[in-house]
Homo-oligomer: A and B are copies of this chain.
């Protein structure tokens, strides 16, 4: 590679990564999956937007020919392979086995119903659904059916975590079914690949490919898994930690990818199955898992998903009708299948419906499968664009719909209700009532429709009835305020300490004023509990006194619960 090519490579990767992560974070702020923002970054920098405004710039940054195109393809290929390694690791195979009948029964219907409906649809109207002219109808129908029946374990796990359902009974069943769904769809997909003839294929006879795919899948779930589990402690004992184990996992993944690519199915199937075998080890330490997950999801995954947006022009060929058709077909068949299975297992109606919508999220998985089919020339780029939209749409609707069905609330953090001006370092006040007034004034400066003196009096009254000093120098004066729509919090730090009559007798140095709406019961206790658990760590309490700004304070509070 020449110096110019190296420069372009670093520049394009740097820009793409920055844009993908920035928009990914924006999506997250709007409580949407990050993958949406990441793909959007590619759409913005690719032919759809930048390419139509400044075609030369796009051609300079992301050439479609030459060494840079090869380098970019190599990096995104490795990126998606490593992303599926992480996805495989997160798939808890032992959990599927453990959950047993319920998961198997629901899983069977959740996969077979959409698969059959999708197959029937694709078989009866292949041209209008985006079959490429040279693709055999059967191969197209099977690919299409897989796209309709796939679900996305990572997105589903994220939705359940956001809704605080991950460790519930229902959550365990959903995760089990999603894992089974993922696994089954990928195995089906590998088999379809193995019987598909394509110009890009390696030169192994089809019968060999089928046999080797079956053998590989079986081995990875039995003997291979066992072998990895047996070797693992030896590596952990004798190699450096955690980098020895990390290299072991990554070499295995790369070799697995080479093997599945060689037998004629895609490299990502190899890393995915390797991930399943690895993730199942009781010896896998949290730090090893987190290191891989963090690095891959902050470097490789954004680059890969952004590259999808770069690949096609989402405006020129976009077909609204096809997208709508695919969306209705996907959601309808998946929900019918899941409801059937869940009701057979005697799940409550609202839980069955919530489960159905949760499993309907297709996210990254459908996009990756679609991309492989597109690159092999099995589906048209119009269908591929619809696949991306449907995958994102189904992921977007899952969370809010589940929340509505199950009448859930999201976990609240006290910092969500603060503003920069409501963080006071240091407090001027030296005693209790003055402190309450100072904090109330801070809130009322930001929300100037509130009556400061009235509120301060109410808080002071409440304080006199029962003092709000907690242990370890924290106090939480609070009251309910009529006419408020959302809770409001102000936090002040005292240099000298102010007596809030705490049980341990120590003066309060961190004082949080909490105002909540009159009718909202849960908010007050939830915010107080959040403050107490966040500040229970002595180290965090000590660091609060050294933050230089509101931003640093927010950063500290954020990492406080995640460390």
Bound-state Cα–Cα, A57 to B285, Å: 37
A–B complex contacts, Cβ < 8 Å, 15 sampled: A1-B70, A3-B200, A3-B261, A6-B261, A7-B258, A10-B81, A17-B250, A18-B247, A21-B244, A74-B75, A233-B549, A233-B552, A233-B555, A242-B294, A247-B298
Q: Interface SS of chain A: helix, strand, loop or mixed?
A: helix
**Is A217 close to B, CB under 8 A?**
no
Distance of A8 from chain B, by nearest CB (Å): 8
Instruction: Please count how many residues in chain A sit with their CB below 8 Å of the partner chain's CB atoms.
Output: 81
Asked if B3 and A202 sit within 8 Å, CB to CB, the answer is: yes
**9 further contact pairs, Cβ within 8 A, besides A8-B258, A13-B78, A75-B78:** A1-B70, A6-B77, A15-B251, A29-B238, A70-B74, A233-B555, A234-B555, A243-B297, A244-B298
**Is A408 close to B, CB under 8 A?**
no
Distance of A89 from chain B, by nearest CB (Å): 14
**Is A150 close to B, CB under 8 A?**
no
Distance of A476 from chain B, by nearest CB (Å): 22
> Could you give, for residues 225-248 of chain A, a 1 whenever the CB lies within 8 Å of some chain B CB and a 0 otherwise?
000000001101111111110111
Residues of B within 8 A of A214 (CB): none
**Is A302 close to B, CB under 8 A?**
yes
**Is A558 close to B, CB under 8 A?**
yes
Distance of A205 from chain B, by nearest CB (Å): 15
**Is A254 close to B, CB under 8 A?**
yes
Asked if A241 and B562 sit within 8 Å, CB to CB, the answer is: yes
Residues of B within 8 A of A287 (CB): 563
Distance of A43 from chain B, by nearest CB (Å): 19
Bound-state Cα–Cα, A75 to B202, Å: 24
Chain A interface residues (CB < 8 Å from chain B)? 1-4, 6-11, 13-15, 17-18, 21, 25, 28-29, 34, 67, 70-71, 73-75, 77-78, 81, 200-202, 233-234, 236-244, 246-248, 250-255, 257-258, 261-262, 264, 267, 270, 283, 285, 287, 290-292, 294-295, 297-299, 302, 549, 551-555, 558-559, 562-563
Question: Would A254 and B10 be within 8 Å (CB), given that A2-B200, A246-B298 are in contact?
Answer: yes
Residues of B within 8 A of A67 (CB): 70
Residues of B within 8 A of A241 (CB): 558-559, 562
Residues of B within 8 A of A28 (CB): 240
Asked if A7 and B261 sit within 8 Å, CB to CB, the answer is: yes
Asked if A254 and B558 sit within 8 Å, CB to CB, the answer is: no
Bound-state Cα–Cα, A243 to B563, Å: 13
Contact among B8, B200, B255 for A18, CB-based, below 8 A: B255
Asked if B77 and A1 sit within 8 Å, CB to CB, the answer is: yes
Residues of B within 8 A of A71 (CB): 70-71, 73-74
Contact among B2, B70, B78, B291 for A291, CB-based, below 8 A: B291
Asked if A21 and B247 sit within 8 Å, CB to CB, the answer is: yes
Question: Would A261 and B10 be within 8 Å (CB), given that A246-B299, A549-B233 are in contact?
Answer: yes
Bound-state Cα–Cα, A294 to B255, Å: 21
Asked if B233 and A7 sit within 8 Å, CB to CB, the answer is: no
**Which residue of B is nearest A73, CB measured?**
B1
Bound-state Cα–Cα, A193 to B463, Å: 70
Contact among B202, B258, B295 for A295, CB-based, below 8 A: B295
Bound-state Cα–Cα, A3 to B287, Å: 34
Residues of B within 8 A of A257 (CB): 10, 14
Asked if B18 and A243 sit within 8 Å, CB to CB, the answer is: no
The 8 closest A-B pairs by CB, nearest first: A14-B254, A71-B74, A237-B554, A236-B555, A10-B258, A11-B258, A243-B298, A246-B298
Residues of B within 8 A of A552 (CB): 233, 237, 283
Asked if B74 and A247 sit within 8 Å, CB to CB, the answer is: no
Distance of A420 from chain B, by nearest CB (Å): 11
Question: Would A267 and B70 be within 8 Å (CB), given that A78-B75, A243-B294, A258-B11 are in contact?
Answer: no
Residues of B within 8 A of A242 (CB): 294, 298
Residues of B within 8 A of A295 (CB): 246, 291-292, 295
Residues of B within 8 A of A254 (CB): 10-11, 13-14, 17
**Which residue of B is nearest A293, CB measured?**
B243
Asked if A25 and B78 sit within 8 Å, CB to CB, the answer is: no
Distance of A135 from chain B, by nearest CB (Å): 17
Bound-state Cα–Cα, A529 to B246, Å: 30
Asked if B70 and A3 sit within 8 Å, CB to CB, the answer is: no
Residues of B within 8 A of A264 (CB): 3
Contact among B29, B78, B236, B555 for A559, CB-based, below 8 A: B236
Residues of B within 8 A of A4 (CB): 202
Asked if A77 and B244 sit within 8 Å, CB to CB, the answer is: no
Asked if B6 and A247 sit within 8 Å, CB to CB, the answer is: no
Distance of A105 from chain B, by nearest CB (Å): 34
Contact among B6, B200, B251, B298 for A21, CB-based, below 8 A: B251
Bound-state Cα–Cα, A287 to B240, Å: 18
